[in-house]
Structure 1
């Protein structure tokens, strides 16, 4: 009788574990589905964050975003037409708009360099700016150590707001644009440093985004350090 009762308990316990595992998988799938809906809504509406006290837009992202494929992006010489509000969608789920290609040279194979970055991070799920070194620490941009290893880019935050907030790991989505940009310095009024916009699903973002399965929008500039 005792053995039979023990078997029943073990069966119930195993069933509960299996049920919980299924629930966890379902929950993650539901979160991914919710994230996708949030991104699609952002593509339609964009966002405007206004400083009512000083009377200017802190962030203004036009809606009705036109999504183009990687093939079209390559056919356009790796550019996005800002006048048409184009963003290229990559296979990773990241969307990118190149506002300015930048000045100087690309980061070449075998090169290690330090990149200065200024950014604003907007939570698409929370519909609000979550962090920005432009607003919080304009005099202290983020520094990223970048290494091009035979065409594969990796990097770590050395210092700055992202480093202090999320740690040294650079989100995959932040490295992606560097393949297509010229990373130099502004030496004349006519030369402009690289500037892009990103829509980043959670699995391509920082540790909080990955853990929470939440999408973020970024407006970022990249500039080569001296």
Structure 2
């Protein structure tokens, strides 16, 4: 009887612990997300600059490990290649992108993923060898307002059933000069650390950050 009683006590304790993990407050999840981003910054020896410094550098980052933090959105950006085109002005554009989306946080409670997991991608992160089709989205620019809708072939839509382009994807386009090019050296390209609030609908729901590497090429 004592052994049976102990078994049920342990089972109840385990259920209680699982319930606690799933019942974390939004504030607690945001704190864990911030910890995951800070861990990535430290482990990769990333130098963070503010927006004033970024603008003084002609909206460029000057090293592979230099990222600008946009305080309002919480997005960190490293500009790998600004592009060889012209800044985008008011109007409609069709953008073709290659990207890698990687988890920055280990989550084994409500969702199953490890930090460093590739969540979805249509390019290889370590070289310019591409496969599959580029991600297509329609971009509308009006003053400082940028909005986008996935169209055509879209792994992001297939994965997340989300038609709107995450704001974290759109932010770099304010500072890049995308063109229509087949050159992996000339294509506009950035690295991003994106918190849930600027990410996909799933990231927003479960409160986790992602690393992205994204190219932006003008389409049709």
For 1:130-145, list aligned pairs within 5 A. Answer: 130-134=119-123, 138-145=131-138
Query: Which of 173, 181, 185 matches 2:176?
Result: 181
Alignment match, 1:168: 163
Residue in structure 1 matching 2:55, options 71, 74, 99: 74
1:178-219 per-residue CA deviation (whole Å, 9 max, x = no partner) reads 0000110226x6960100000001111010000010000000
Cross-structure match for 1:10 = none
Aligned to 1:146: 139
| Range 150-159 or range 198-207, more displaced | 150-159
Gaps of 5+ in 1: 1-23, 46-62
Give the TM-score normalised by the residue count of structure 1.
0.76
- Aligned partner of 2:13 in structure 1 is none
Aligned to 1:34: 32
Higher strand share: 1
Larger-gyration structure (1/2): 1
Structure 2 residue matching 1:185: 3-state secondary structure: coil
d(CA) in 1 for partners of 2:184, 2:171: 26
In 2: Cα distance, 1:144 partner to 1:102 partner: 18
Aligned to 1:98: 79
Which of 116, 120, 125 is equivalent to 2:96?
A: 116
RMSD, matched Cα: 1.9
Q: Distance in 1 between matches of 2:101 and 2:61?
A: 21
Partner residue in 1 for 2:45? 64
Task: Report how many aligned residue pairs link the two structures.
Answer: 182
Q: Name the TM-score, length of structure 2 as normaliser.
A: 0.78
Greater Cα shift, 211-220 or 145-154: 145-154
The offset of 1:94, in angstroms, is 0.5
Compared with structure 1, are the counterparts of its residues 115 and 73 closer, same or farther at alpha carbon in structure 2 (3 Å cutoff)? Answer: same
Contact 1:103 1:191 in 2 (8 A): no
Which consecutive residues of structure 2, in runs of 5 or more, have no partner in the other structure?
Answer: 1-22, 106-113, 125-129
